[in-house]
């Protein structure tokens, strides 16, 4: 039964992993850039939600759309000022631009918010539902539900809106997209903003059960990369599968390994997948 419980917990957190990683995979899919700073936008989302709670008394789940909007705008600006300049640059420039961004965001947060850990208190924080012999923690469930909702919203956006289709066209064939009158530059901006906004949204919904701090992103960097690499870098559907898989792997590994070694299991999975299935377990690039 412990195993079933662990799988259930894994699914719940995995749903969140999926959403925060969709942002990363979207940026790569459309622009061909791995954003090493992606996890910092999760941290920013957490802080937006934290201050919305502290100052406005807003529940983090309700503040999640706000986190999305704020970070969306920030992302659009960053794409315009920074990322756009390295899209055609050598990979080393692309890699170290986002690595630099990671360092800047983390330390700017340290300066602005201080190094202390911040958490919110919500009425449902410690409650859980019982399903026969199984328990579902309410904050996990809420975060999972919000993630599913945002994932669905993104899916509908990509499938049925003009912007969504234009963005996918840009990802598949930039040349053809341009011939069809799609402004690639604008699509890149939209993709980057949407990508980091979605990750921030994920950051906000996990605030009820995780503490925010400027360095919280570091816990998620390799995790997010594992998710997208498992699913195939650039594939949105893959990120969902990868997210659930990582959630379950992580949750199951707690049954076997001490807590510090949990990440180790992930790293090994990560390097293994990169080495043997670099296009993801599903094998579909994009």
Partner 1 sequence: MNRLSPTQWLGLAALAALAIALPFAFDPRGYGIRILCLALLFAAMAQAWNIVAGLANQISLGHAAFFGIGAYTSTLLLIHFGVSPWLGMVAAAVLGGIAALLISLPTMRLRGHYFALATLAFGEVMRVIGNSWGGLTGGPVGISVPFSQPNFVLLQFRETRSYYWLMLAALILVTLVFIAIKRSRLGYRLRAIKENADAAEVIGVDTTRTKIIAAVISGALTASLGTLYAQFQFFFDPDTVFGVASVSVRMAMIAIVGGIGTAAGPVLGAFFVIPLEEVANQVFSAQAAGLSQLVFGVLLILVILVEPRGFMAIGPRIKRLLGKGDR
For partner 1, the binding residues (CB under 8 A) are 28, 33-34, 36, 82, 85-86, 89-97, 99-104, 106-108, 110-111, 115, 214, 221-222, 225, 229, 233, 258, 260-261, 263-264, 267-268, 270-272, 274-276, 278
Q: How far is the CB of 114 from partner 1 (least distance, A)?
A: 9
For the chain, the first-to-last Cα distance in angstroms comes to 37
Q: How far is the CB of 258 from partner 1 (least distance, A)?
A: 7
Cβ distance to partner 1 smaller for residue 203 or 214: 214
C-alpha span between 165 and 6 (Å, rounded): 38
Q: How far is the CB of 147 from partner 1 (least distance, A)?
A: 24
Cβ distance to partner 1 smaller for residue 66 or 109: 109
Cβ distance to partner 1 smaller for residue 278 or 283: 278
Cβ distance to partner 1 smaller for residue 34 or 182: 34
Q: How far is the CB of 268 from partner 1 (least distance, A)?
A: 7
C-alpha span between 181 and 246 (Å, rounded): 39
C-alpha span between 263 and 282 (Å, rounded): 23
Cβ distance to partner 1 smaller for residue 32 or 65: 32
Please report the DSSP string for 3-15 in residue order: HHHHHHHHHHHHH
From residue 151, alpha-carbon distances to 137, 143, 239, 255 in Å are: 21, 12, 11, 29
Q: How far is the CB of 216 from partner 1 (least distance, A)?
A: 14
Residues 6 or more apart from 88 whose CB is under 8 A from it?
none
Cβ distance to partner 1 smaller for residue 37 or 184: 37
Find the helix or strand (DSSP H, E) in which 130 lies: strand 128-131
CA R_g for the chain = 18
Place of tokens 């906004």: 197
Q: How far is the CB of 9 from partner 1 (least distance, A)?
A: 22
286, 241 Cβ separation under 8 angstroms: no
Cβ distance to partner 1 smaller for residue 11 or 274: 274
* 59 three-class SS: coil
Q: How far is the CB of 279 from partner 1 (least distance, A)?
A: 10
């Amino acid at each position: 039964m412990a195993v079933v419980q662990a799988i259930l917990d894994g699914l719940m957190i995995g749903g969140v992993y999926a959403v925060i990683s969709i942002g990363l995979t979207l940026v790569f899919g459309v622009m061909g850039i791995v954003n090493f700073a992606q996890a910092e936008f999760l941290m920013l989302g957490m802080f937006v939600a934290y201050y919305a709670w502290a100052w406005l008394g807003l529940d983090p789940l309700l503040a999640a759309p706000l986190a999305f909007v704020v970070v969306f705008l920030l992302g659009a600006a960053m794409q315009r000022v920074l990322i756009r300049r390295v899209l055609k640059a050598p990979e080393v420039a692309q890699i170290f631009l986002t690595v630099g961004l990671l360092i800047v965001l983390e330390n700017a947060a340290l300066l602005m918010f201080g190094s202390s850990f911040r958490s919110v208190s919500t009425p449902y924080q410690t409650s859980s539902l019982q399903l026969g012999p199984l328990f579902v923690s309410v904050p996990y469930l809420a975060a999972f539900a919000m993630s599913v909702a945002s994932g669905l919203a993104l899916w509908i956006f990509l499938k049925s809106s003009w912007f969504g289709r234009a963005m996918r066209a840009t990802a598949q064939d930039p040349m053809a997209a341009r011939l069809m009158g799609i402004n690639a530059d604008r699509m890149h901006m939209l993709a980057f903003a949407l990508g980091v906004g979605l990750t921030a949204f994920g950051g906000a919904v996990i605030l009820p059960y995780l503490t925010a701090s400027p360095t919280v992103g570091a816990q998620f960097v390799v995790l997010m990369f594992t998710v997208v690499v498992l699913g195939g870098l650039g594939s949105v559907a893959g990120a969902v599968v990868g997210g659930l898989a990582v959630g379950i792997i992580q949750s199951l590994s707690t049954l076997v390994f001490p807590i510090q070694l949990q990440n180790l299991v992930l790293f090994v999975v990560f390097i293994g997948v990169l080495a043997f299935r670099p296009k993801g377990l599903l094998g579909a690039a994009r």
